[in-house]
C-alpha cells in the first residue's frame, strides 16, 4: 500500500464510462466473499486530501461499488487504480456526503430539549462541578495523609500511583467516549469520582484501615476524565473557527474549580471535620452522574462520524486497541503538534510539581500565603483562558498563537532563572499563565481538527495523558534538579527547551489549515 499522501483518484465527467468498467464486474464476481480488505485511504474528491482510513472485511466484495470509498495510488483487492476510479466516480455524491469536512460543528440528532447551546452550557457546568470536587480533594490530601501517619515519601507514592493510573486511563477513556458517546463517558467519569470520594470518606473513619483505603481510592482515578469528556463534546459541537474560543472557556471552569474547591475544602475541613469535603464531593459527583444520564445526549458526533463507525462489515474495535490509539499519532499533522505539546509542557510541569516545596523553601511562604498565590493563579487562568485566548484566536491563526506561546515561555523561563523572591514570580505569572493556556488550548484545537470527528475523544484522551505523565516523572526528576541546582535550573531548562522549539517552528511552521480526517 502506498503512502496516504499518494495521488487521489482523478475525477471523470459524471455519467461517463470508464474504459476498464468491463474488467471490474467480472473480477468482482470471481473474488470470494469475506476476502480481507487492506486498509483503504479515503480521500477528498476535489483536492485529493486525506480524510481518513478504514480497515476490515466486506460482507461481499460485490458490495464495493456501493461503498463511498476511494483508495490511494495502488490497489484494493488487487484492482488497478484506473478500475477503482470508476467505483469512486459512480458514487462521488455519497462520498462527498460522508467525507466532506463541512459536517463538523453541526449538532447531531438526538440533542433533546436542551438543544446544542443547552448541551454546551451543561457541559461547562459539569466540568466546573468535577474540578471543584477535585480541588476540594487536593486541599485535604496532605492533612489526611499526615493524620494516617504517612511521611512525605509515602505521600509521593500515592501521588505517583494516581498519576500513572490517569496516564494509562486517559487514551482508553477517550476511545470509550468515541465508541459509546458523551452520555456514557460523563456518567462513567462521575461514577468513578464518586467511588474515589467514597473510599476517601471511609479512610477518614478511624476504625477502618485508613492507609489501605487511601491507596485504594487512587484506583478509580484511571477513569476520572470529565475534562477530556467535556473537551470532546465542545469539539464535536463547535465549528473549527469557534473551537479555540469554546475550548478556552473551559479555563473559566478550571478557575472556578481551583478557587471554590480550595476555599470549600479548607473551610469545610476546618469547621466540620476532614471527612466533610469528600462527603460533599461524593454527593456532588452523584448529582453529576444523574445530570449526565438524564440531560447529556447519547452521542454528540455528527452524521459523518456515525457513517464511519457503521461502515459495512467494519469490525467492532476494542476500547483497549492500542494500535488504533497510536495510529492517530501517525496521521498527517498530528505527531508534530503533539510533540510540541509534550516537550514545551514538560519544563513548566516540573516546576509546578515542585511548587509546593519551592513556595516553602525558596519563597518562604506560609500555607495561607501559598493559598493566596494559587488563588491569584486561578484568577489569571480564568481571565486569560476564558476571555483573552478566544479573542486572540479570532484575529490570529493557531500557528501564530502556538509560536507566540512558545516564545513567551522562553522569555519567562529566562526571567525565572533570575528571580529572587515571590514578588518577581508574581510579575512573571501573567506571561506564564498565558503561555500555558495558549499552548494547551491551541494544541488541543489543532489536534481535534487533524483527526476524524469519530476520534476526537481518543485524541483528547491522549492530550489528557500529558499532565499525568508530568506528575509521574515530575517528583523524581524535579526533585533531583532542585536538590542539585536550585530553583534557577527550572528557568534555564524552560528557556532552552522552548527556544529550540521556537526555532524549529519558525523554520518549519505548522500548516495554517490541517487536513481533517473523516
Residue 140 CB neighbour total at 10 angstroms: 22
252-261, 272-281, 399-408: least confident range: 252-261
Q: Is the pLDDT of residue 8 over 90?
A: no
Number of domains observed in the structure of the chain: 2
Joined together, the cell numbers standing for residue 8 give 487521489
> Which of 55, 76, 99 delimits the end of a domain?
99
- 53 and 132, same domain (yes or no): no
CATH number at residue 124: 1.20.1250.20
How far apart are alpha carbons 127 and 249 in whole angstroms? 11
Identify the band that residue 403 occupies on the pLDDT scale cut at 50, 70 and 90: very high
Per the domain annotation, does 12 fall within a domain?
Answer: no
Residue 37 host element (H or E): strand 36-43
CB 75 within 8 A of CB 6: no
Per the domain annotation, does 16 fall within a domain?
Answer: no
3-state DSSP percent of the chain in helix, strand and coil, to 5: 70, 5, 25
- 43 and 145, same domain (yes or no): no
Per the domain annotation, does 373 fall within a domain?
Answer: yes
Which residue in this structure is represented by grid cell 443547552?
118
- 235 and 306, same domain (yes or no): yes
Q: pTM value? A: 0.65
Phi-psi region of 121 (alpha: psi -120 to 50; beta: other; left: phi over 0): alpha
- 72 and 119, same domain (yes or no): no
Domain of 402? 112-310+319-507
- Kindly write down the DSSP assignment for every residue of 449-483, as one continuous string: HHS-GGGHHHHHHHHHTHHHHHHHHHHHHHHHHHH
> Which of 52, 68, 99 delimits the end of a domain?
99
Q: Is the pLDDT of residue 172 over 90?
A: no
C-beta contacts of 414-419 below 8 A and 24+ residues apart? 414/491, 414/495, 415/491, 416/351, 416/487, 416/488, 416/490, 416/491, 416/494, 417/488, 417/489, 417/490, 417/491, 417/492, 417/495, 418/488, 418/491, 419/487, 419/491
Per the domain annotation, does 513 fall within a domain?
Answer: no
- 397 and 483, same domain (yes or no): yes
Give the tens place of pLDDT for each residue, 323-378.
Answer: 767 777 777 778 888 899 999 988 998 888 788 778 878 888 776 677 778 778 88
Amino acid at each position: 500500500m502506498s503512502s496516504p499522501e499518494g495521488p487521489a483518484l482523478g475525477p471523470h465527467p459524471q455519467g461517463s464510462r470508464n474504459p476498464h468498467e468491463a474488467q471490474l464486474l467480472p473480477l468482482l464476481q470471481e473474488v470470494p466473499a469475506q476476502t480481507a480488505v487492506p486498509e483503504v485511504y479515503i480521500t477528498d474528491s476535489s483536492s485529493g486530501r486525506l480524510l481518513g482510513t478504514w480497515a476490515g472485511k466486506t460482507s461481499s466484495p460485490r458490495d464495493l461499488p456501493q461503498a463511498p470509498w476511494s483508495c490511494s495510488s495502488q490497489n484494493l483487492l488487487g484492482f488497478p487504480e484506473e478500475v477503482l476510479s470508476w467505483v469512486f466516480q459512480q458514487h462521488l455524491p455519497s462520498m462527498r456526503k460522508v467525507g466532506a469536512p463541512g459536517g463538523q460543528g453541526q449538532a447531531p440528532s438526538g440533542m433533546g430539549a436542551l438543544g446544542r447551546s443547552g448541551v454546551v452550557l451543561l457541559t461547562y457546568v459539569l466540568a466546573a462541578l468535577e474540578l471543584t470536587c477535585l480541588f476540594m480533594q487536593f486541599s485535604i490530601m496532605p492533612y489526611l495523609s499526615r493524620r494516617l501517619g504517612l511521611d512525605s515519601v509515602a505521600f509521593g507514592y500515592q501521588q505517583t500511583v494516581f498519576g500513572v493510573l490517569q496516564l494509562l486511563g486517559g487514551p482508553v477513556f477517550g476511545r470509550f467516549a468515541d465508541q459509546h458517546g458523551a452520555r456514557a463517558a460523563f456518567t462513567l467519569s462521575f461514577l468513578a469520582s464518586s467511588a474515589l470520594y467514597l473510599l476517601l470518606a471511609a479512610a477518614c473513619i478511624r476504625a477502618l484501615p485508613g492507609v489501605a483505603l487511601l491507596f485504594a481510592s487512587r484506583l478509580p482515578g484511571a477513569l476520572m476524565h470529565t475534562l477530556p469528556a467535556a473537551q470532546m463534546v465542545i469539539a464535536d459541537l463547535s465549528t473549527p473557527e469557534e473551537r479555540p474560543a469554546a475550548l478556552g472557556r473551559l479555563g473559566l471552569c478550571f478557575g472556578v474549580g481551583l478557587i471554590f474547591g480550595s476555599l470549600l475544602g479548607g473551610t469545610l475541613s476546618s469547621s466540620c471535620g476532614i471527612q466533610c469535603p469528600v462527603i460533599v464531593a461524593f454527593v456532588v459527583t452523584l448529582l453529576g452522574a444523574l445530570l449526565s444520564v438524564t440531560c447529556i445526549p447519547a452521542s454528540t458526533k455528527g452524521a459523518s462520524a456515525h457513517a464511519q463507525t457503521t461502515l459495512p462489515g467494519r469490525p467492532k474495535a476494542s476500547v483497549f486497541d492500542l494500535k488504533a490509539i497510536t495510529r492517530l499519532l501517525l496521521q498527517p499533522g498530528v505527531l508534530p503538534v503533539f510533540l510540541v505539546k509534550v516537550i514545551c509542557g514538560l519544563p513548566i510541569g516540573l516546576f509546578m510539581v515542585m511548587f509546593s516545596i519551592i513556595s516553602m523553601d525558596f519563597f518562604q511562604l506560609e500555607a495561607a500565603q501559598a493559598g493566596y498565590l494559587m488563588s491569584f493563579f486561578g484568577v489569571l487562568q480564568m481571565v486569560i483562558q476564558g476571555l483573552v485566548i478566544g479573542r486572540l484566536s479570532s484575529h490570529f491563526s493557531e500557528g501564530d498563537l502556538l509560536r507566540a506561546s512558545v516564545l513567551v515561555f522562553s522569555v519567562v523561563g529566562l526571567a525565572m532563572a533570575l528571580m529572587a523572591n515571590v514578588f518577581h514570580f508574581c510579575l512573571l505569572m501573567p506571561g506564564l499563565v498565558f503561555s500555558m493556556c495558549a499552548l494547551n488550548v491551541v494544541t488541543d484545537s489543532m489536534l481535534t481538527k487533524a483527526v476524524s470527528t469519530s476520534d476526537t475523544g481518543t485524541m483528547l484522551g491522549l492530550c489528557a495523558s500529558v499532565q499525568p505523565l508530568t506528575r509521574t516523572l515530575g517528583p523524581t526528576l524535579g526533585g533531583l534538579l532542585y536538590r542539585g541546582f536550585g530553583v534557577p535550573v527550572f528557568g534555564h531548562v524552560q528557556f532552552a527547551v522552548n527556544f529550540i522549539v521556537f526555532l524549529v517552528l519558525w523554520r518549519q511552521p505548522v500548516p495554517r489549515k490541517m487536513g481533517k480526517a473523516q
